[in-house]
Amino acid sequence: MSKSIIFDTETTGLDSEDRIIQVGAIIVDSKDKEYSDLHNELCSCEVPIKIEAMATHGIRESQLVGEGKFEDSRFFKVLKELNNESNYLIAHNLDFDLGMLTKYNFENKFSLIDTLQCAKHLFEINDIVGDYKVSNHKLQTFRYMLLTEEDEANEADKYGVEIKAHDAIGDVVILKLFLKKLVERLMSKYKLKKYSEIMEKLVFLTKEPVEVKFINFGKHKGKAITEIESIDSGWINWLFKEQEKQKNSNDSKFNRELYNTLDKVIKKRNSQTGHSAGDGLQF
Same domain, 135 and 227: no
Is 37 domain-assigned? Answer: yes
Residue 250 lies in a domain: yes
Same domain, 183 and 260: no
- Pairing between strand 88-91 and 35-42? unpaired
Rounded to whole angstroms, the Cα distance separating 184 from 193 reads: 10
Asked if residue 110 lies in contact with residue 6, where contact means CB atoms within 8 angstroms, the answer is no
Per-residue pLDDT at 60:
96
222 and 202 part of one domain: no
Last residue of a domain, one of 207, 237, 255: 207
Total domains in the chain come to 2
CATH code at position 181? 3.30.420.10
Q: Do 38 and 130 belong together in one domain?
A: yes
Residue 239 within a domain: yes
Task: Characterize the bridge pairing of strands 20-29 and 3-11.
Answer: antiparallel
Q: What is the mean pLDDT of the chain?
A: 92
Q: Please indicate, yes or no, whether residues 97 and 153 belong to a single structural domain of this protein.
A: yes
Contacts of 221 (CB under 8 A, 6+ apart): 215
In-domain check, residue 212: no
Residue 154: inside a domain? yes
261 and 164 assigned to the same domain:
no
Q: What is the mean pLDDT of residues 136-153?
A: 95
Tens of pLDDT, residue by residue over 49-84, are 999 999 999 999 999 999 999 999 999 999 999 999
Last residue of a domain, one of 207, 232, 251: 207
How far CA 245 is from CA of 34, 249, 250, 257, 270, in Å, comes to 43, 6, 9, 15, 21
Which pLDDT value is given to residue 31?
67
Nearest C-alpha neighbor of 91 from the set 152, 174, 8, 164: 8
Per-residue H/E/C for 84-102? CCCCEEEECCHHHHHHHHH
Same domain, 196 and 222: no
Same domain for 180 and 127: yes
Tens digits of residue pLDDT in 147-205? 999 999 999 999 999 888 788 999 999 999 999 999 999 999 999 999 999 999 999 99
pTM of the model: 0.86
Same domain, 19 and 55: yes
pLDDT at 30 > cutoff 90: no
Write out 147-196 in H/E/C secondary structure.
Answer: CCHHHHHHHHHHHCCCCCCCCHHHHHHHHHHHHHHHHHHHHHHHCCCCHH
Structural domain of 104: 3-207
User: For residues 89, 90, 92 and 95, what is the CA-based torsion angle, rounded to 10 degrees?
Assistant: 20
Q: Are residues 166 and 83 in the same domain?
A: yes
Residue-wise pLDDT for 235-280, tens only, equals 999 999 999 999 998 777 788 889 999 999 999 999 988 765 444 4
Do 15 and 112 fall into the same domain? yes
195 and 270 both lie in a single domain: no
pLDDT at 165 (0 to 100)? 74
